[in-house]
Structure 1
């Protein structure tokens, strides 16, 4: 089971045709979904909770914006076309930073949550431009978010409640996935959600999961410092620094970095469709990120994601009901 399967299950519940899927055995008509950004199985497995999680898979690319698009549409990445934070603008033939683009304009997704009784509880700093037609309320601290989530569950006025929590991801990027700060953050977040979910499980079926995990990063490959690559490259990469995507001729100078190179039908199989399909995928095998864009140099990542390691792809799923 992966996040695409879970997104279809949620859609099935909200559209009142549970018999189509029912692989999770959801019992209640009302459903809550908590997405803990960056909570990989490698962190969750050692946290004590009132229910035991099962291990499920993220989707590829294991990127938050890609997961969000799948959850909002119940479509695979190759179908909705959002394959990472770097996207191709086909109108002018350039690569754009999707995060910057979302700050200036909305992207209309074909989300099935329109015309449903659904509430989305999001951090105030998070982009909500993919959700402009949905009911979104902001929160400003973790405690504020918990209060608004708990209040929404008490009111029972929505058939679906979505609560997004970014703090484990932020700690893991900054300190690494196995640092004491990250482990403490993960434990505090999961156990607070466990308490609330246990209390309200008779009124709502509550799913708690993650978008991806993190792998430890200790090496940075800067492609702009690679003269062979810069001479060979026809078109800049897009996607993300652990799931680089290329159009046109493949730069063979990349092979010296020992990354997995995927092409042809295998690419469509991995992303689940052909929309905006790259000609080549380059996925680091080890603890490297491969950067090209200038704003990637502003961050010192000790943990990251987007690739195919077990730490990135394996996530927990808790069900309270």
Structure 2
């Protein structure tokens, strides 16, 4: 069953037309690991879970293994668009709809992998783990990419500046789920081999195995091998291909849809070959970290002297550039400059703006008390464009698809769950 009415309810209940706040504590993807691990009686205490109706149609009474497949960038509208297209081959997704439950969830804010992955591997909200977006600033290094940990020029931060602490000490601070799970639960993380350089003490540290793969068929075969193992297991597979193509060609492009077909077909072939008895003991969930929007314009603030003069200075005397991403630009400002810059933004960009007090009061980055990791990165002013992208300094963004903001296309993602035997 596909629950489009939940998507309509979330959109209709939005406080601001055209924008969708995270449904923390309810239909939010941060609750996925807690829900999946609770099926195994392995969820660490205190982490969020989803409403029980999100997996009510899945037979999980005998479950010993849970497989979570995270397709980066696959929004709920993307799922629906591909499944509803009679020309597309999406048998596995269609069987999820007929034999399981597909529920729309919101992403956390920002709707970016840099915020969602630490949440999905820790069970914590961004206000707790402190990872608030793609671009961050380090004194003495400048603007850096958070995932992976690279300089603006694309070089590893700790190669350029060896004295710089690892990302787990500078960009976020969180204990992973795998360091808090009960003994006897085997945890395996699958990710592209190019990503296979885990930061010791990072947000996904402590798993029993990390499996790198070169292609989706190779991933599917590796997942199948693990599913055949006896015992209690939590498997998490990360696929970045749809996000990459959505940036390059757009979320509605033929190339993006064809890539999704190929991913689904590879997974389907592998899952259908799992032994029937093991399949009866396996729950499969497919979800995403965010969707994509095709922006309708770009606003470049680089030449705005009011904004430039208002930027705060780092400890090394350099100005801190706006950070975050083009869909959620974060400003660190000199004292008393918030309202001045806000007026410039609201005259120049069709956007929502939030002062620090406002976004904390609204729990935009999650409920709970801000942690020191959050406070290190929390901006003085946040700009969230409705349909445009906005930037300051550096190259003009050239991506067709973008994310990070609060539009429903960026914020809504699928959560599909079913017993593996029913999917075969």
TM-score range, shorter chain: 0.7 to 0.9
1:243-263 deviation digits (Å, cap 9, x = unpaired): 112233322322211211022
Structure 2: give runs of 5+ residues left out of the alignment: 1-26, 84-89, 151-155, 159-165, 313-319, 420-424
1:14-47 deviation digits (Å, cap 9, x = unpaired): 5546999672357213211000011111110132
Question: 1:241 offset after TM fit, Å?
Answer: 1.8
1:35-66 deviation digits (Å, cap 9, x = unpaired): 00111111101324212122111111111121
Instruction: Determine helix, strand or coil for the equivalent of 2:262.
Output: helix
The aligned counterpart of 2:121 is 72
The aligned counterpart of 2:198 is 128
TM-score, with length taken from structure 2: 0.68
CA–CA distance in structure 2, aligned partners of residues 82 and 106 of structure 1 = 10
Instruction: Determine helix, strand or coil for the equivalent of 1:110.
Output: coil
CA–CA distance in structure 1, aligned partners of residues 106 and 230 of structure 2 = 30
TM-score, with length taken from structure 1: 0.87
271, 293, 298: which one pairs with 1:220? 298
Structure 1: give runs of 5+ residues left out of the alignment: none
CA–CA distance in structure 1, aligned partners of residues 122 and 404 of structure 2 = 20
CA–CA distance in structure 1, aligned partners of residues 45 and 264 of structure 2 = 30
CA–CA distance in structure 2, aligned partners of residues 310 and 37 of structure 1 = 16
The aligned counterpart of 2:3 is none
Question: 1:87 offset after TM fit, Å?
Answer: 2.7
Note the 1:102-117 alignment, pairs <5 A.
103=156, 104=158, 105=166, 107=168, 109-114=174-179, 116-117=185-186
CA–CA distance in structure 2, aligned partners of residues 265 and 199 of structure 1 = 53
The answer to whether the aligner puts 1:96 opposite 2:144 as a matched pair is yes
72, 78, 99: which one pairs with 1:37? 72
The answer to whether the aligner puts 1:302 opposite 2:302 as a matched pair is no
Q: Contact 2:386–2:407 (CA<8 Å) still a contact in 1?
A: yes
Deviates more, 1:71-80 or 1:13-22: 13-22
Q: How many residues align?
A: 317
Note the 1:274-289 alignment, pairs <5 A.
274=370, 275-276=374-375, 277-286=378-387, 288-289=388-389
CA–CA distance in structure 1, aligned partners of residues 272 and 358 of structure 2 = 42
Mark the structure with the bigger radius of gyration: 2
- Structure 2 CA distance for partners of 1:19 and 1:80, relative to 1, 3 Å: closer
Deviates more, 1:34-43 or 1:156-165: 156-165
